[in-house]
Amino acid sequence: MKLYIGNKNYSTWSMRPWVLLKAFDIPFEEVKLRFDFTPGSSFYQALAEIAPVSSVPLLVEADGLVVWDSLAIVEYLAEQYPSLAIWPPEHHARARARSLCAEMHAGFHRLRQACPMNIDADLSAVGRDLLASNEGLQQDLARIEQLWNDALRHSGGPFLFGQFGAVDAYFAPMVMRISRYGLPLEGQAKAYLESVQSHASVAAWVADAVAEKDFLDFEEPYRKAPADRNI
């Protein structure tokens, strides 16, 4: 199968299925399309040849099946590889994990808007200013901390439901946002942040993102030139 993704430094949606595939050693071919949201760009042309959507990620099977949207890809992989604990095996835990993924998929707009993912940057000074002035960001961060601490209290960690799974891959981009913007966490949530960043699949994505050195100014609300890079 092929996984079409965007720039690793910026693409939160692409990060989720890529990290999941790597974490469970599911073989796939990575196809990276450089972000370019200009009408008629090569980015849009490439996607138009594959599926009736103009966004990544896309999972393409050898038989031509195309699955789009990160959550749909996660569910498809769980069905295709039922022997893998992509979701927690216990049905109550599985339902809670799906609920967390759904909330991540549809929520936290204020944090996501204020703190776009930028792995190749130390934006902790920006984060301090944002947190002091943005009430919505404060509320979203508090909700994430509550969700993580509650799940970790039930599972015992180190990941949200014990072992690394779909829900951890789904929150990996949020981990990168919180880390790069230096947003504070309390309790087990703080240790969870480090556990996710230390996981081999996440670390591999981060290493690739830092190596890209592909500055896209429309993805950089806080850094105005490549010379501003400080990681």
pLDDT tens for residues 87-109?
Answer: 999 999 999 999 999 999 999 99
Query: Where are the domains positioned within the chain?
Result: 2-80, 91-212
Burial of 137 (0-12, 13-18, 19+ CB in 10 A): buried
Confidence at 223, pLDDT banded by 50, 70, 90: confident
Q: What percent of the chain has pLDDT over 70?
A: 97
Angle at 174 between CA 69 and CA 87, to 5 degrees: 60
CATH number of 91-212: 1.10.287, 1.10.3470, 1.20.1050, 3.30.420? 1.20.1050
226 pLDDT more than 70: no
pLDDT at 230 over 90: no
Percent of the chain at pLDDT > 90 equals 95
Asked whether the predicted pLDDT for residue 218 surpasses 50, the reply is yes
For the domain 2-80, what is the CATH code?
3.40.30.10
What confidence score (pLDDT) does residue 219 get?
94
Strands 2-5 and 29-32: parallel
* Structure confidence at residue 225 as a pLDDT band (50, 70, 90): low
157: its two tokens: 């960690």
Residue 148: is its pLDDT beyond 70? yes
